[in-house]
Structure 1
């Protein structure tokens, strides 16, 4: 199982942190992360529930990571394995379809793509760079399991400001070119992810005009 001890920085102050697989005892803290990260008017029924979290640690515990800071759970990241039939090029998919609505019952143990279902960090801890550490740790999982890549769809919350002037694909290209900044897409670029394309009706998100930016990280050791 996964465990990484490290220091994160609050300004110039080193703070001890641990990234590890989450367990049943962590469920209340994981749900609290969702509540703080996605407050109303985000629908509460879309927060993780105990059945979903139970599936995560039962079906693919390697893809269930959390980060503790000074003993407090401050963020989490969850994935599942999928095959090309689920995310093949030219095949439109939604977050709901590819993650089974977060229940990951469609986890394919023979898949060679680790698909990101969620990454969340408590707002009060976001200045510590925990999201990037979680992403880098999931790359470790990709390498350890000999997978081809990590893939996931992210929000494009800045797109609604430009949707009348450009398509979603053009917006993604503008962010990658450095002409525009998007808090989520730019974050994924900083984590080493590269764009694959955009998916229409990927998730219910008015700021993204319901598009998702599909971005991957390829395993440099994959044969």
Structure 2
């Protein structure tokens, strides 16, 4: 089912028209340009979207291919696929669970909507577009009757603290509000909750290759209570 939501956000005191919709083949060139803006070096450029990947997203799981426009300009995207996730065995690598971003392993019967990537142009980040796209994807989870939305959150601030903190300690400080991480703090604001710390998740020097799995549970599903994140200090 096609997704389209039109509303306003505020740029300081000025309302700005915004549309969240499914992205299409005509958006591909601009989506790749957005990736280059969002993930400059040292992030590996080979991990930016390519045309074949984006065409696959549109063909295999259009419900999980969302983008946002600001005043008619493409400003960001959020991409997911369905997987069958077992919370008892959370460890995995980004390249495995997303098929290196091609999502050819998309499972139409999977119980979880897995976030492959979220990107918002730097000049538009003050508008809260990432949070709006994430909330739109929560709606997809509910519409499809899935258990959860899940994804690995990068920890790009960790390399600055690695000499004094283990990754577990770093995550704990972010969750307690003692430290801010550009990605983890954003995901917490979006309503995501921690599941598990994963080593060697992605080729990501800033995060020292770690990621924090974070989920959003479908509130209409009768699942067990969310686990409380506990970390050794």
What RMSD, in angstroms, separates the aligned Cα atoms of the two structures? 1.2
What are structure 1's unaligned runs of at least 5 residues?
A: none
- 203-212 or 55-64: bigger deviation: 203-212
CA offset digits 1:123-176 (Å, max 9, x no partner): 111111111111111101001111100000011112122223332122212211
Q: Which has the higher helix share?
A: 1
Alpha-carbon distance in structure 2 between the residues aligned to 1:214 and 1:50:
27
Structure 1 residue 40, shift from structure 2 partner: 3.5
What are structure 2's unaligned runs of at least 5 residues?
A: 223-233
Q: What secondary structure, in the 3-state scheme, does the structure 2 residue paired with 1:131 have?
A: helix
CA offset digits 1:101-144 (Å, max 9, x no partner): 00001111110100000000011111111111111111010011
Is the 1:169–1:197 Cα contact (8 Å) retained in structure 2? no
Count, aligned residues: 221
2:50 corresponds to? 49
Structure 1 residue 7, shift from structure 2 partner: 0.5
1:5 maps to 2:6: yes
Alpha-carbon distance in structure 1 between the residues aligned to 2:100 and 2:65:
16
Is the 2:43–2:204 Cα contact (8 Å) retained in structure 1? no
What is the TM-score when the length of structure 1 is the normalising length? 0.95
1:73 maps to 2:45: no
In the TM superposition, what are the counterparts of 1:15-94 in structure 2 within 5 Å?
A: 15-84=16-85, 88-94=87-93
Alpha-carbon distance in structure 2 between the residues aligned to 1:90 and 1:111:
15
Alpha-carbon distance in structure 1 between the residues aligned to 2:207 and 2:72:
35
- 157-166 or 116-125: bigger deviation: 157-166
Structure 1 residue 177, shift from structure 2 partner: 1.1
2:230 corresponds to? none
What is the TM-score when the length of structure 2 is the normalising length? 0.91
Is the 2:173–2:179 Cα contact (8 Å) retained in structure 1? yes
